[in-house]
Amino acid sequence: MSDTLTNQKAYRAINFAEKLALFDDQWQARVVAEMNDYQFKVVRIEGDFVWHQHADTDETFIVLDGQLRIDMRDGFVTLSAGEMFVVPKGTEHKPFAEREVKLLLVEPRGVRNTGEETSERTAVNDLWI
């Protein structure tokens, strides 16, 4: 894409809603951008995830649409659109959504969604959209 008069490129922004509209399966996050060695991923989830932890990294949840609950062993947090929460590394947690929620996740490249666990929820890594 270029403007022939000025030879300026029109770069494209990453639109979360547009990216989410490209798929409708749940639990499989898609990478939409990278910053250094971190990835931004969009995902649809509904129902219960598995208890897990990430020993080496914090994990960031940003709600784009809907409502998310994250249970931890000593408490919980509820997140709506326009809200975020960082689960500290080594903290066992279990995301839950009564109805489908659309999330933006931020975490280092290569992190497995179910942490040390393997389950039916374990997703393909590094899947771009």
Q: Quick check: 34 binds its own copies (CB under 8 A)?
A: yes
Q: Quick check: 127 binds its own copies (CB under 8 A)?
A: no
Closest to its own copies by CB, 56 vs 117, is: 56
Site for its own copies in 90-109 (CB under 8 A): 106-108
Q: How far is the CB of 101 from its own copies (least distance, A)?
A: 13
Closest to its own copies by CB, 17 vs 119, is: 17
Q: How far is the CB of 120 from its own copies (least distance, A)?
A: 27
Give the dihedral sign, CA 80/66/62/48: positive
Give the dihedral sign, CA 100/21/31/14: negative
Among 9, 21, 25, 120, binds its own copies (CB under 8 A): 9
The DSSP-derived string for 54-101 is -TT--EEEEEEESEEEEEETTEEEEEETTEEEEEPTT--EEEEEEEEE
Q: Is 112 exposed, middle or buried (CB count within 10 Å of its CB: 0-12, 13-18, 19+)?
A: middle
Number of amino acids touching its own copies (CB under 8 A): 41
Tokens of 75: 């408490």
Q: How far is the CB of 46 from its own copies (least distance, A)?
A: 19
Q: Which residues bind its own copies (CB under 8 A)?
A: 2, 8-17, 32-36, 38, 40, 57-60, 64, 70, 72, 74-80, 82-86, 89, 106-108
